[in-house]
Chain A
Amino acid sequence: MTDLKYRLAPASEMSRYCFPNNAVSGDASRCVCLIDSSTVEEINHIVHNGGLYKRPFNEAFEETPMLVAVLTYVGYGVLTLFGYLRDFMRQWKIEKCQNATEREEQKDFVPLYQDFENFYNRNLYMRIRDSWNRPICSVPGAKVDMMERVSHDYNWTFTYTGRVIKDIINMGSYNYLGFAQKTGACQEAAAKVLSQYGAGVCSTRQEMGNLDKHEELEKLVARFLGVESAMAYGMGFATNSMNIPALVGKGCLILSDELNHASLVLGARLSGATIRIFKHNNMQSLEKLLKDAIVHGQPRTRRPWKKILILVEGIYSMEGSIVRLPEVIALKKKYKSYLYLDEAHSIGALGPSGRGVVEYFGLNPEDVDVMMGTFTKSFGAAGGYIGGKKELIDYLRTYSHSAAYATSMSPPVVEQIITSVKCIMGEDGTNIGRARVQQLAENTRYFRRRLKEMGFIIYGNEDSPVVPLMLYMPAKIGAFGREMLKRNIGVVVVGFPATPIIESRARFCLSAAHTKEMLDTALKEINEVGDLLQLKYSRRRLVPLLDRPFDETTYEETED
């Protein structure tokens, strides 16, 4: 009872969905496109481009149904009207004003917050504020304990009842390989290093803060990624914002994806280079920008650009999409530009042995000029790294803002990373790492398939462990979060401004630590809440696989 009709795309439409022949030297003639011929325009295409893609690339972003979009706007309109009403009442003292107010002595200072800037904050965000900043009091593993909090004044202030809600299934923490543990080899090693080295370093890398542990970590990370050299920093966000300005400056061009993370955007802004944005994961848009940049040079002076840097991410955490890395690398080679790949979410989570999106596509790590990533998500620690050629890392050791001014990483954190990397690589003598990577892949495919069968709109790539489930309407954001918590499942909901205003969503982060029972429980509850809140917007229905709970294709089978 599937609605899909398959047909081979005619040549005229191939350029829309597949890779045009003249852009890349590769055989695009075997491009097969599946086009949904129902009324909903959903592009679900599988590209078997002979030279570039060694595995199928399944990405789907179902379009918002018209009725839902209209109702969402109506919802926001009603909220805005109510917002104005409440502001009016607050101004005329009919309602008590709870915002932060100035001290008496400073009443005639220019106010810190302009009224209109804060309208969204006061009247929309405040109503559903309890969905965020939920305090937990246990290790953020597959199950977590949360501190119960109530609000007696509509979320302006919270009080803690003192009770702890135990064993909530955690679908919100970035724990892809399950290394957030309070027992085990990693924790023991970290405890030993803590007692030996202490918790802090109190100096910068260039002064007295370069411990032997840091050198060990960097050599290991370089080996793990397959690059010549690597450097580690104390904070993932700061890795981007402090190193991009060291690499590019005025007279350079940055081509950045539409949906890049705030840290990449900040780093690009601080560098002083010209920034141009290409449509999300759209290779035609990127190629057009590259061509125009080289042909026309800098605006007005027409001088050639000093260098061009392309900023992309491995997995985009709000969309769940994976970057089209083979095509980006082909473009980069053709137009002699440099590639900066931010693997914050994809390192550890993709690839047959967890080495990230480069391994996932079967590419050579030397093709990526700057490989950046974070240790927060798959390694259960904190911090970031940059890997690449030796000249690049030497340059960063000398000129990075972080090396000169920021305190180096804390030793127990470093040890946690070292142990977890060794575990993933299999060097600790066990099979745990490999098993976890496979478990994550299985969990991902199972979870996504079941959600699609239920009829939710799920964005993103089939293999991405980040699963966004569309909610759209503002009221459902708060309702979904609260209903799931009532059923003992912790989820993350996101709205404006992290997403476009009508595309608010719930985002599930899968983990290798989730067992099948946990996933089934979660799916059952999501199904219930989906029926309760009428979230099953999808017009496509996948035929459910009744006999096989896990998808047959695992990594072994698709390895070339």
Chain B
Amino acid sequence: KRVRDTRTKLAPAYHLILEGILILWIIRLLFSKTYKLQERSDLTLKEKEELIEEWQPEPLVPPVPKDHPALNYNIVSGPPTHIITVNGKECINFASFNFLGLLNNEKVKSAAQASLKKYGVGTCGPRGFYGTFDVHLELEERLAKFMRTEEAIIYSYGFATIASAIPAYSKRGDIVFVDEAACFAIQKGLQASRSNIKLFKHNDMADLERLLKEQETEDQKNPRKARVTRRFIVVEGLYMNTGDICPLPELIKLKYKYKVRIFLEESLSFGVLGEHGRGITEHFGINRLSGQGYCFSASLPPLLAAAAIEALNIMEDSPDIFQTLRAKCERIHKALQGISGLKVVGESFSPALHLQLEESCGSRENDVKLLKRVVDYCMNSGIALTQARYLEKEEKCLPPPSIRVVITVEQTEQELDKAASLLKEAAQSVLN
């Protein structure tokens, strides 16, 4: 009895049980399979070489059918001005975005010539490394003054401007509300920024407000995160894909209500909207906010900067061209109404319109072919038009196929009427 007492004093029951469990656990660990964290290949050298032999990659690019509509470019001989020679035929130009007719303007050309004589053609470097010329600085100053902002910067490539500006401000974790009809450059900028993208229906302020409210409730759950998450709305002044404008006053109201910043892309509305061509903010009578950014690539050739400065001079000196442009847009917008089979998409004062098929044939390919026949009919009769081109697989919300109609100040009223009647004829003969 005494022996049993000493044993229980030395080792209580729970202790023994615990030790027993531990020993069993160690035995289990010793005999279980090891968990490999790193992939160690169990293949022999010969097997690896066989795999390397067998692997066949896809061809670098798939073959493109010879009659693909985007493969055969129109060849323009000579300058793409008001009268344009396309594929050997002389036509009136309704396809180049030359709204103010400045492509052939002698003052602009002579300013560019002077710059060419002084600086040569290229800048041979990015802005940071001796690529900043006094012309660039002057252009930026003039733009800032013209647009009534604190500062402005210029990029050498239109597509790259918005595609670089968005990721400069909006980073991973930030939230961007963008219109569905935003152009491809904006989409690429958003993709590069790695932010959370929320699409709202085109020009639908109720939809946008709903999304903003949802975001607000999310924020209230996590206020610390909300304090460092930046929020942006990206809209275009004049949408390239639909030809209408964004409702800027409502957007401003939403901006202050939900504390969001606005990115306004004005490649079409600059020089078009507003009394002096200052764009959509002048159209609605609103002030701008300031912005800054950076350039990473070779700067704009100085002759183009000089041409731009001269163009600004012209815009400031003769503000009546905007009225003239608007009147012409209204005229053709009215004239194009009522074409059987084609409907006009775009505001009446927009100089870039789309003509879409009222009824689709069923497939996009057939629609494109049909529109091509309309365009060819017009080209053969002396009006140069083009279809709006998209990368069909890459766009988020692919717009339907359409003919692009561009109005410039250089087109006379007879020419506008001729274009409208020709389109009517073409639609009649091709679509009926």
Q: Which residues of A contact B (CB under 8 A)?
A: 100, 103, 105-106, 108-112, 114, 132-141, 144, 147, 170, 172-175, 179-182, 186-187, 190-191, 194-212, 215, 234-238, 241-242, 247, 262-263, 266, 269-270, 291, 294-296, 304-308, 335-338, 369-370, 374-377, 379-382, 391-392, 394-399, 401-407, 410-413, 416, 490, 492
Contact A194 B124 (CB under 8 A): no
Q: Give residues of chain B (211-227) contacting chain A, Cβ–Cβ below 8 Å.
A: 226-227
Q: How far is the CB of A269 from chain B (nearest CB, A)?
A: 7
Q: Are A181 and B231 in contact (CB under 8 A)?
A: no
User: Inside 8 A of B391's CB, which chain A residues have their CB?
Assistant: 399, 401, 404-405
A197 (CB) vs chain B CBs: closest residue = B79
Residue contact A208 to B76, C-beta cutoff 8 Å:
yes
A410 and B122 contact, Cβ closer than 8 Å, known pairs A236-B298, A294-B51: no
- Other than A186-B120, A235-B297, give 11 A-B pairs with Cβ distance below 8 A: A134-B132, A140-B119, A187-B120, A198-B79, A242-B159, A269-B192, A270-B191, A335-B52, A391-B61, A404-B70, A416-B122
A156 to chain B, nearest CB (A): 13
Tell whether, in the assembled complex, residue B184 and residue A490 are in contact, meaning their CB atoms are under 8 Å apart. Answer: no
Asked if A295 meets B52 with Cβ closer than 8 Å, knowing A305-B57, A392-B61, the reply is yes
CB atoms of A402 and B79 under 8 A apart = no
Q: Offer 27 A-B interface pairs, CB within 8 angstroms, sorted by A.
A: A112-B261, A132-B128, A139-B119, A173-B124, A173-B125, A179-B122, A180-B121, A186-B120, A197-B79, A203-B386, A208-B84, A208-B93, A209-B96, A210-B75, A237-B160, A291-B52, A295-B43, A308-B57, A374-B298, A376-B123, A376-B298, A381-B301, A382-B122, A394-B64, A402-B159, A410-B304, A411-B79
Assess whether B103 is interfacial by the CB under 8 Å rule: yes
**Which residue of A194, A234, A490 is within 8 Å of B112 (Cβ)?**
A194
Closest 3 CB pairs of A and B: A237-B297, A235-B157, A395-B61
Chain B residues 112 to 138 lying within 8 A of chain A, measured CB to CB, are: 112-113, 116-125, 127-134, 136-137
Give me the interface of B with A, judged by CB distance under 8 Å: 39, 41, 43, 48, 51-52, 55-64, 68, 70-71, 73-81, 84, 86, 93, 95-98, 102-104, 108-109, 112-113, 116-125, 127-134, 136-137, 156-160, 163, 169, 183-185, 188, 191-192, 226-231, 256, 259, 261, 289-290, 292, 296-298, 300-301, 303-304, 307, 384, 386-391, 394, 404
Does the CB pair B63–A391 fall under 8 Å?
A: yes
- Return the chain A residue nearest B108 by Cβ: A199
Do the beta carbons of A397 and B58 come within 8 Å of each other? no
Q: Would you call B109 and A202 a contact (CB within 8 A)?
A: no
Q: Identify the closest chain B residue to A193 (Cβ).
A: B79
Q: Which residues of B contact A180 (CB under 8 A)?
A: 120-122, 124
Which residue from A209, A295, A395 sits with its C-beta under 8 Å from B48? A295
A contact residues around B226 at 8 Å (CB): 110
State the Cβ distance, A521 to closest chain B Cβ, in Å: 18
A132 to B231, CA, bound (A): 32
Most buried by A among B259, B292, B303: B303
Asked whether, in the complex, the Cβ of A137 is within 8 Å of the Cβ of B134, the reply is yes
Alpha-carbon distance A215/B84, docked complex (angstroms): 17
The answer to whether A202 and B124 touch (CB under 8 A), given A208-B86, A399-B391, is no
Q: Are A175 and B124 in contact (CB under 8 A)?
A: yes
Q: How close is A195's CB to chain B, nearest CB, in angstroms?
A: 6
In the assembled complex, the Cα of A436 lies from the Cα of B359 at a distance in Å of: 62
A139-B118 contact, Cβ under 8 Å, with A208-B74, A404-B184, A404-B389: yes
- Which residues of chain A have C-beta atoms less than 8 A from B59's C-beta? 391
Partner of B169, one of A109, A112, A379, A405: A112
List residues of chain B with CB within 8 A of the CB of A215: 75
- With contacts A199-B304, A306-B58, A410-B301 taken as known, whether A187 is within 8 angstroms of B117 at the C-beta atoms is yes
Cα A100 to Cα B293 in complex, Å, equals 12
Given the interface pairs A108-B259, A336-B56, the reply to whether A406 lies near B157 with Cβ below 8 Å is: yes
CB within 8 Å for A394 and B71 given contacts A173-B125, A202-B80, A294-B51? yes
User: Are B157 and A196 in contact (CB-based, < 8 A)?
Assistant: no
A207 and B60 in contact (CB under 8 A), knowing A136-B133, A196-B79, A197-B79? no
Q: Closest Cβ of chain B: how far from A472's Cβ, in Å?
A: 20
A328–B292 alpha-carbon span in the complex (Å): 41
* Chain A, Cβ-Cβ closest to B63: A391
A369-B159 contact in complex given A211-B80, A236-B297, C-beta closer than 8 Å: no
B120 touches A182 (CB 8 A): yes
> A182 — which chain B residues lie within 8 A by C-beta?
116-120
Interfacial chain B residues near A106, Cβ < 8 Å: 261, 289
